[in-house]
Amino acid sequence: MAGINKYSEEEITKRFVPKNWTEKQASSSWMLFKIMAEFVDGFETLNAIGPCVSIFGSARTLPENPYYQLAEEIAAKMVEKGYGVITGGGPGIMEAANKGAQKAGGKSVGLGIELPFETEPNPYIDHDKYLNHRFFFVRKVMFVKYSQGFGDARWLWNHGRIIRSAHPHPNWKNWKVPHRFGGHLLLERFG
């Protein structure tokens, strides 16, 4: 897949600096507090947002792609029905969903993740509703606790596992928009 990663292997390797034993021990001792702080920050920020739908998808989808436009349209329809929109906060489908929510006057939430590259949130997230996570599992908890979901098979599987082992909100639903068809069914349901 040429052209997807604009960073060379050397540039990526430089961003992952090895630590000595003392640095690892010091880092590990404070890990629990960092995780707790991230949960507290997430709960306090997201408790006030109201019902939301999460929309997941590729960060590589360009605005001229029909799926970008479909995500924007679905997000706008969700806002019209009283839902906010939660995404991973990145470009592509996530940007389209945040854009659709913001254009329709709804809540546009972004749950980013700290990575060595591609860490800028898209410009369509409400400034007071963006969280940048260091831990993937904390971010997943926020998605499941505060939203109903649309997305790819991986997220559908993860949400299914959590539903089976936990007690989600009774109104929680998870719909999947297939890559080749199905978006029109959501628009008919919510349109």
Domain contains 104: yes
Residue range(s) defining the domain that contains residue 52? 18-190
* 82-108 confidence digits (pLDDT tens): 999 999 999 999 999 999 999 999 999
54-84 pLDDT, tens digit each? 888 888 899 999 999 999 999 999 999 999 9
Asked whether residue 133 is domain-assigned, the answer is yes
Whether residue 7 is contained in a domain is answered as no
pTM for the whole structure: 0.70
The answer to whether residue 112 is domain-embedded is yes
pLDDT, tens digit, 9 for 90 and up, residues 143-178: 878 876 555 455 555 656 655 555 554 444 444 444
Answer whether residue 172 is part of any domain. yes
Please check whether residue 12 lies inside any domain of the structure. Answer: no
Total domains in the fold of the chain: 1
Q: To the nearest whole number, what is the mean pLDDT of the chain?
A: 79
Choose among 125, 101, 99: nearest CA to 111.
125
In a domain, 178, yes or no: yes
Percent of the chain with pLDDT over 70: 70
Position 8 pLDDT exceeds 70: yes
User: Is there a domain that residue 6 lies in?
Assistant: no
CB-based contacts of 1: which residues, under 8 Å, 6+ apart? none
Write the burial class of residue 151 (CB in 10 Å: 0-12 exposed, 13-18 middle, 19+ buried): buried
DSSP E strand stretches across 88-185: 108-113, 130-133, 148-150, 174-175
Report the CATH number that the domain containing residue 72 is assigned in CATH. 3.40.50.450
